[in-house]
């Protein structure tokens, strides 16, 4: 809402409505404890909010650490994503979760089965880690098992699952670090 509060309705099996319960809602209920919110995104049974102070808050399903709080415990109320500040945008997919900081760096956390965290590994992360070698990013997006970034020079970079050639690098090979889209 224009006052910076967040309201949610629908399925709530994992606390993704953020109202402190796991009760489904057919009418909107206010998300507990959030104010000054400037952006929202919903993932796969989890939700995220960006506050005007540049912090990111998350709640709902956390089976792969995608809430970024250092655990794999579901949350029915918002909790701050650990170690992130100066965030200007984020991308939420099934997994991973990405954050773009005001210095043009990208941070990622959550499931990493296909290398979608871009850190050169397939290791799941429960807190944000910087994607090394990716700078001057102005926009990003997270999909199901892959991620995309637009740099200020107009180039697009992709990493993670490359089924059906979705990364656009001319192959169908999964990429564990960002590659330039041809």
Give the whole-angstrom CA distance, residue 13 versus residue 6.
Answer: 19
What is the mean pLDDT of the segment spanning 171-178? 96
pLDDT, tens digit, for every residue of 34-91? 999 999 998 889 999 999 999 999 999 999 999 999 999 999 999 999 999 999 999 9
Give the whole-angstrom CA distance, residue 157 versus residue 124.
Answer: 21
pLDDT, tens digit, for every residue of 94-112? 778 999 999 999 999 999 9
Provide the β-strand partners of residue 29.
8
The CA distances from residue 151 to 18, 40, 43, 100, 159, in Å, are 33, 22, 24, 11, 14
Averaged pLDDT of the chain: 95
Quickly state the pLDDT bin for 32 (edges 50, 70, 90): very high
State residue 175's pLDDT score.
96
């Amino acid at each position: 809402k224009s006052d910076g509060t967040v309201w949610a309705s629908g399925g709530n099996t994992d606390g993704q409505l953020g109202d402190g319960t796991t009760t489904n809602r057919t009418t909107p209920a206010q998300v507990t404890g959030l104010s000054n919110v400037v952006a929202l995104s919903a993932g796969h049974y989890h939700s995220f909010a960006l506050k005007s102070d540049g912090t990111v808050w998350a709640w709902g399903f956390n089976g792969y650490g995608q809430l970024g709080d250092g655990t794999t415990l579901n949350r029915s109320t918002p909790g701050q994503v650990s170690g992130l500040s100066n965030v200007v945008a984020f991308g939420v997919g099934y997994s991973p979760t990405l954050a773009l900081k005001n210095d043009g760096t990208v941070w990622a956390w959550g499931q990493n089965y296909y290398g979608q965290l871009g850190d050169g590994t397939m290791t799941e992360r429960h807190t944000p880690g910087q994607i090394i070698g990716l700078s001057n990013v102005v926009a990003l997006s997270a999909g199901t098992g892959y991620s995309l970034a637009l740099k200020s020079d107009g180039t697009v970079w992709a990493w993670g699952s490359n089924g059906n050639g979705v990364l656009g690098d001319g192959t169908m090979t999964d990429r564990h670090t960002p590659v330039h889209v041809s």
